[in-house]
Amino acid sequence: MVLRADRSAASEVRADALSRIDSRQLRILLAVVREQSFTAAAEKLNMTQPALSRSVQLLEERLGIRLIERTSKSFALTQFGRIVVDRAHIVEREFEQLLNEIRSLQDGEAGSVSIGVGPSAIGYLAPAIRLFQEERPRMKVRIAVDSMEANFQALLDGELDVISTALNFPDHNRLVTEELAELRNVVIADRGHPLCGRTNVQAAELAQFPWIFFSSDQMGYERVASYFAANNVEPPQPAIETNALDTVFTLLNEGRYLASVPSIVLERARMTGLDAIDVDGAFWSIIIGIAYLRSIHPPPAITSLSLILRRHFETA
C-alpha cells in the first residue's frame, strides 16, 4: 500500500478503518511520541524495536496514511499523525476513566485522580482535598505541582486528570473549563522589610528590591511586569526562581526579597512572619478554576472535586 502524508490522503482512509485499529497500536504510537524514540519506547514497553516499528507501520497501513516521517536520526509527526495522537490521548484517558469507574463500583468509590496545581494553589486546594477524601476515602490523590503552562500541556497529554489553576490560557476544543473565583494578587515581604508597614508604596520603590518568582511561570511574570510597565518603571528581573511556596516564604523571611502571591494564601503567609505591602494602585487579579479533558460523561471524581471547590470559595 502507498502511504500518503498530504491532505489528499484522507480519501484513502478505509471506511472500516476504525474497526481495524488495535488499541494496543495506539498505545505503542503514544509511547513513541512520549519517548521521542523508537528504541526508548520499545524498552519502556518491554518489546523489541522491530516489533514496535512493525506495529506503527501496520497502523499506518490500516489507515492508509503516514503518521511519522522517519529519518536516520529522528522523526516527526505528520499532519495526520498529530490528529491521530491527539485522539489517541482521549481514547487512553476514556479507558482509564472507565477502569476508575468500575473500581469505584466494585470497591466503594476507589480509584485515583491526578491533579495539577500551581505552586501557590495548594493554599486553597488543601482544604478541598481533605473534604474530597472524606467523601471518597478509597480514592488516591496524586498532586503534581508545576507552572500553569506545564500543567496545561500535561493535561492535554493525558498525564493529568484535572488542573486547578489560573484560567488565562487559550480556549481548547478538547478541554472543559469551569471558573471558580477571582483572586487578587498581592506583594508580600517579611514584616521587617523596609517597605512593610508603609502605605501607598510606589512601583519605583518595589523595583529597587530583589524579586522571587515561581519557576517557568511566564504568565505570572508578565502580569507583574505589566504593573511596572503601566507605571513607567522597568520591571524587576527574577533574582530567585523556585517551584515551592514554602521556599518562597523561607526566602522572604531573610528580609529583602519581594514576591507576588494570590491573596488567598496571605493568611498562611502571615503565620510565617510575612505580610502584604500596601502598593500604589491595583496590582493584578486572576480567574482561577479547573480544567479537564472533554468526555461524554465527566468522571465522577472530577465532578465531586468541582462541587467541593465551589463550596469552599463560596464560604471563604
Average pLDDT estimate for 167-171: 79
Distance CA 20, CA 37 (A): 25
| Average pLDDT of the residues of the chain | 84
- Which residue has better confidence, 8 or 44? 44
User: Which pLDDT belongs to residue 182?
Assistant: 87
Assess whether the region 7-84 and the region 108-316 belong to the same CATH fold.
Answer: no
Q: How confident is the model at residue 187 (pLDDT cuts 50, 70, 90)?
A: very high
Q: How confident is the model at residue 199 (pLDDT cuts 50, 70, 90)?
A: very high
Q: Give, in degrees to the nearest 5, the angle at Cα 129 between 311 and 224.
A: 80
pLDDT tens digit sequence for 231-257: 999 999 999 999 889 999 999 999 899
- Tally Cβ neighbours within 10 Å of residue 104: 18
Q: How confident is the model at residue 6 (pLDDT cuts 50, 70, 90)?
A: very low
pLDDT tens digit sequence for 263-293: 888 999 999 999 999 999 877 888 889 999 8
User: Which pLDDT belongs to residue 18?
Assistant: 55
Its sign, for the CA torsion 118, 98, 302, 286, is: positive
- Which residue has better confidence, 41 or 187? 187
Query: What are all long-range contacts of 103-107, with beta carbons under 8 Å and residues at least 24 apart?
Result: 104/300, 104/301, 107/138
pLDDT tens digit sequence for 54-93: 988 888 888 888 888 876 666 788 888 888 888 888 778 7
302, 113 contact by CB (below 8 A): yes
User: Which pLDDT belongs to residue 11?
Assistant: 44
Task: Report which secondary-structure segment, H or E, holds 97.
Answer: helix 79-107
**DSSP β-ladder status, 162-166 and 68-70:** unpaired
33, 27 contact by CB (below 8 A): no
Picking from 95, 84, 126, 121, the residue whose alpha carbon sits closest to that of residue 291 is: 121
124, 265 contact by CB (below 8 A): yes
The yes/no answer on whether domain 7-84 falls in CATH 1.10.3470.10 is no
pLDDT tens digit sequence for 16-56: 555 566 778 888 888 888 888 888 888 988 899 899 889 88
User: Which pLDDT belongs to residue 194?
Assistant: 96
- Grid coordinates given for 19: 474497526
Picking from 123, 126, 122, 101, the residue whose alpha carbon sits closest to that of residue 112 is: 101
**Residue position matching grid coordinates 503534581:** 144
CATH no. of 108-316: 3.40.190.290
pLDDT tens digit sequence for 91-141: 787 777 777 767 665 554 667 889 999 888 877 788 889 999 898 888 889
Distance CA 258, CA 235 (A): 13
